[in-house]
Amino acid sequence: MSRDSYIPRMVDPIIDGLFRTLPAIMLVGPRATGKTTTAVRHVETVVRLDRDRENAAFLADPDAALGRLPEPVLLDEWQIVPDVLGAVKRAVDSDHRPGRFILTGSVWSDFGGRTWPGTGRVVRIDMMGLAVKELERNTRRPAFADLLAHGRIQELATPAQPPDLADYVDRALRSGFPEAQWMPPSVRARWLDSYVEQTLTRDIETLDGRRDPVRLRAYMEALALNTAGVVTDKTLYDAAAVNARTGEAYERLLRDLLVADKVPAWFSNRLKRLTRGSKRYLVDPALVAALLRVDERAVLRDGDLLGRLLDTFVVQQLRAEAPVCDSRPRIYHLRQDQGRHEVDIILELGMGRVIGIEVKAAATPRHDDAKHLRWLRDELGDRFVAGVVLHTGPRVIEMDEKIVAAPICVLWS
């Protein structure tokens, strides 16, 4: 695989289908995840709004600038000139032909306070970093959640030479950023350091130039230490030495830039004493390592960090695949008060059906590793579709009714 070859993305068929039907779509995801590379394959004209010489006309008169361009048009990094959204809205209202505009952006919202002009006119598609399934050219294989949702748990497959624990950590630390895939580890580490630095300085200025990058870094480091954990706001604020108002602003900024996220707690009236706290995540485990300044060897020596990193890695893979799943899963976690029962990941399907997932660093799953999945199955009855204990060993093992243990690589093999 050469550096210059295009890696097919799971969202490619979705983009093709929507752009043949709708006038405008938007690809939203973290910076440097390949949105522009994917989008340019569908357009005739590319406008890079983060370049002064290309955005000047749009700053002056976005409607006139848009009207002069041969279509289809890619408006890259729209958040630099947010008024371009209004121009797209007006263009679409006057001419609803399909396949006119693609917008790409590295922020989730239009700066929060403004009214979103794209409702009913611009369809958003989430495009996260590269999943291993994409890197291994397995995008045509059925989605993991779909296999389980349709009762095809027996089709979970492993390669002839499954990865071991060190391989999984290595894969996680390579990141989901396309540009970083071909770099040796030492170069990749510097690239990731630069990514973090640009997030703290250049990217934040796009949304709020008043923030202190030193304190914001401390907040990101606190998130990295607590990734894949249910942690209180106060714990993060104290770790970063910021007050609640500043901490809330930092959280909002990092989520808008799509480098941090929350997985909400799953709730059911059939289960009692469930907590409502979200799990916090950085969206890429390699960013966790960059912020904590650790390498593969350091991760393997720290059991707590290893568990958090593997959980973050699994959620990264599931989140990348979720937009293309026929079963349309939503990602949650489950925890009872005082941790009596907890399930690392809940995939909620339609009609309240659920898939439970536990993530273990061990290569040999134990009977006890599935105890929370058994409890959930017994409590939910028919609403419990399947349970999977993801581990770092080589084999798929049937553990109980509707519950299997499987290598993490079944997510992409």
**pLDDT attached to residue 337:** 85
pLDDT in tens, 207-224: 666 778 899 999 999 999
The structure tokens 């204990």 sit at 389
405 vs 398: CA distance, rounded Å: 6
Closest by CA position to 277, among listed 339, 354, 352: 339
Q: Is the pLDDT of residue 18 over 80?
A: yes
The C-alpha torsion from 87 through 88 and 94 to 98, rounded to 10°, is: 160
* Residue range 288-309: mean pLDDT, rounded: 98
The pLDDT of residue 111 is 45
The C-alpha atoms of residue 71 and residue 66 are separated, in whole angstroms, by: 9
User: Residue 116 above 80 pLDDT?
Assistant: no
Spatial contact of 331 and 323, defined as CB atoms under 8 Å apart:
no
pLDDT of residue 117: 56
Q: What confidence score (pLDDT) does residue 113 get? A: 46
Q: Which domains does the chain have, with CATH numbers?
A: 12-126 (3.40.50.300), 132-411 (no CATH)
What angle do helix axes 303-321 and 165-173 make, rounded to 10 degrees? 60
- pLDDT for position 112: 46
Task: Convert the pLDDT of each residue in 23-48 to its tens digit.
Answer: 999 999 999 999 999 999 999 999 99
Mean pLDDT of 305-324: 98
Query: What confidence score (pLDDT) does residue 115 get?
Result: 44
Two structure tokens written together for 97? 């032909």
Quick one: pLDDT band at residue 1, thresholds 50, 70, 90? very low
Residue percentage of the chain with pLDDT more than 90: 87
The pLDDT, as a whole number, for residue 403 is 98
Q: Which two structure tokens, joined as six digits, stand for 55? A: 């955005």
Query: What's the pLDDT at 70?
Result: 98
**Which phi and psi (to 5°) does residue 398 adopt?**
-75, 125
Report pLDDT digits (tens) over 345-369. Answer: 999 999 999 999 999 999 999 999 9
Mean pLDDT score of the chain: 94
Pick from 193, 249, 205: which is nearest to 50 by CA?
205
Is residue 82 reached through a cis peptide bond, with omega within 30 degrees of 0 on the bond before it? Answer: no
Whether 409 has a pLDDT exceeding 50, the answer reads yes
Please give the residue that has the higher pLDDT: either 107 or 305: 305
**207 vs 297, residue with greater confidence:** 297
**Strands 279-282 and 229-230: what pairing?**
antiparallel
Question: Which residue type occupies 89?
Answer: K
| The token pair that represents 122 in the structure block | 């611009």
**Among 160, 157, 181, 176, residue whose Cα is nearest residue 408:** 157
Residue 331 phi, psi dihedral angles, 5° rounding: -100, 125
pLDDT for res 314: 99
| pLDDT (0 to 100) of residue 322 | 96
Give 213's contacts (C-beta < 8 A, 6+ positions apart): 200, 201, 204
Q: Which segments within 170-302 are labelled E, that is strand?
A: 229-230, 260-263, 279-282
Write the burial class of residue 269 (CB in 10 Å: 0-12 exposed, 13-18 middle, 19+ buried): exposed
